[in-house]
Structure 1
């Protein structure tokens, strides 16, 4: 189990991690999410004793990482896949780590096989692709058969087969009762892999929950609306707190072929009443279940350091305005 209590890290007058308190429990994959600059990597470095906290403390298995007499047997971590001597082979890199803990050569062979690197075990790491480097980093993290696994962006650089492999691996490690803590920017992958979530923004804890509860309680589910007068309906529904975007099947609306809208901020009953009151035909009115990505974006909207404009949203607004003007 990983326990952080009031974890804080400052660099000069900049607070990178701000009084974080959370628990990562064994038996489940816990996703660690946040926008760029949220403090995820710094938090992981503090868990592993690579950065000293300005305040607070964090333990792994009821003690600080540095206090473990054989840390590779307690915690396996991947923070930077390229932190390997480029002139060493994959086999020799793992053997060097194994010698520090008296780990058998057979275990090195096992993790090479587990990560699909057996055929390139004698090759120098400098020739490895990004994906192969990731696999080697994961092999090193699993070398000591640890009770806790901490991985920072483990699917970065992996092909689809590799992504599926790491997903199944993480689930199997959690099923064995291990603590699995994984950061990622890939929301679709976290939705398929993680059971629990810890979400931070600007160094602060935003949510500590399960994936299912977070998505259910996010309040960002949309209504799919199909109508031959989608532009007019968008104009009628526009208002504070209402977000309207084109749906997947939107084409050129001629007034006779139906167009699709995604409407957030109002429910189906309200949309139906507005459409009926103004004689707008509606062919379909279906609730869309919120995705993890939608829920995450809604929660962290004000925590992103660099905000980009939304061309799609502007285009919809301009279309709705033009439609209303023409009417």
Structure 2
């Protein structure tokens, strides 16, 4: 379990993390989302003691990271996959880490097989592709068989088979009762694997929720309806939990809170003709963009290369 209480980090006049409170619980995959500059990496660095908080606390399994006598057995982390000696082989890199905790050679061999590194285990890590570097970083995170696993952008550089492998690994670790904390910009992957979400923006927690709840708050399932009697359809559909929007004078309405089937049946009962009935679902990416739209620090210019 990871617990942050009023966790704060300042760099001079810049507040990177601002009084953050959250709990990452075992038995679930928790996604850690936010725009660039939101404070995700700084928060993760504070969790494993690479940065000291300006204020507040963060603990792993009830203790600060530095207080654990064998931290690799408590939390395995991947923050920067390329932070390895380029002249050292994958096997030797893992053996060096293993020696610090009295971990045997058999476990090194086991995580090499678990992460698909058998064919390159004796090759220099400096020549690895980005995807192989990611696999080595994940192997290092799993080396101590920790109860808490924290990964920053674990699918970077992985091919489709590797992405599927990561997806299966994360859900499998959570199913074993471990705490799994994952930062990613790939909303499609988070929608598939995350049981819980912590969303930050400008150093503050914007949401501590599930994927389903976040999508629902952003509009959930919306049905677009076109009719020659929008006012009559509004009257028929109005009820608790139903929201109806549409431009004045337009024949099209957008309805949330009712499925397309219920709308069609209600219109038929009251003799209201429908010309279009289209259901659309808000994606996690759309919900994330809506939630963080006022927290984006770096915006791309809306220009076209080569435009006259």
TM-score for the superposition, normalised by structure 2: 0.83
Matches within 5 A, 1:169-188: 169-188=169-188
Report the alpha carbon displacement of residue 223 of structure 1 after superposing the two structures with TM. 3.5
Change (3 A) 1:262 1:100: farther
Other-structure match for 1:57: 57
CA contact (8 A) 1:268 1:285 kept: no
1:138 — aligned with what? 138
Secondary structure at 1:141's aligned position in 2? helix
Match of residue 124 from structure 2? 124
Structure 2: 5+ residue stretches without partners: 228-244, 265-272, 304-308
Identify the residue that residue 17 of structure 1 maps to in structure 2.
Answer: 17
Name the residue aligned to 2:105: 105
Q: How does 1:192-211 map to 2 (within 5 A)?
A: 192-211=192-211
Matched, 1:286 2:248: no
TM-score by length of 1: 0.78
**Structure 2 residue 300 is the aligned partner of structure 1 residue 305:** no
3-state DSSP of counterpart to 1:303: coil
Task: Report how far residue 147 of structure 1 moved.
Answer: 0.4
Give a deviation string over 1:272-304, Cα, whole Å, max 9, x none.
Answer: 9xxxxxxxx964222312111111111001111
* Structure 2 match to 1:2: 2
Residues 173/266 of structure 1: CA separation in 2 closer, same or farther (3 Å cut): closer
Tell me if the contact between 1:220 and 1:298 (Cα under 8 Å) persists in the aligned partners.
Answer: no
State the shift of 1:309 in Å.
6.7
Instruction: Tell me how far apart the structure 1 counterparts of residues 86 and 224 of structure 2 sit (CA, whole Å).
Output: 52
How far, CA to CA, are the matches of 2:93 and 2:217 in structure 1?
A: 46
CA 121–289 in structure 1, closer or farther in 2 if over 3 Å, else same: same
Q: Within 1, Cα distance between the matches of 2:284 and 2:255?
A: 16
Classify 1:226/1:113 alpha carbon distance in 2 versus 1 (closer, same or farther; 3 Å).
farther
Change in 2 beyond 3 A, CA 1:168/1:268 = closer
Could you tell me which residue of structure 1 aligns to residue 151 of structure 2?
A: 151
Change in 2 beyond 3 A, CA 1:288/1:120 = same
Q: Distance in 1 between matches of 2:27 and 2:101?
A: 26
How many angstroms apart in 1 are the aligned matches of 2:72 and 2:174? 18
Q: Which residue of 2 aligns with 1:165?
A: 165
| SS of residue in 2 equivalent to 1:43 | helix
Correspondence for 2:66: 66
Q: Give the unaligned 5+ runs of structure 1.
A: 228-235, 243-260, 273-280, 312-327
Partner of 1:258: none
Q: Are 1:220 and 1:294, in contact at CA under 8 Å, matched by a contact in 2?
A: no
CA RMSD, Structure 1 to Structure 2 (Å): 2.8
- Could you tell me how far apart the structure 2 residues matched to 1:172 and 1:44 are? 22
Kindly report which structure 2 residues correspond to 1:70-109, keeping only aligned pairs within 5 A, or say none. 70-109=70-109
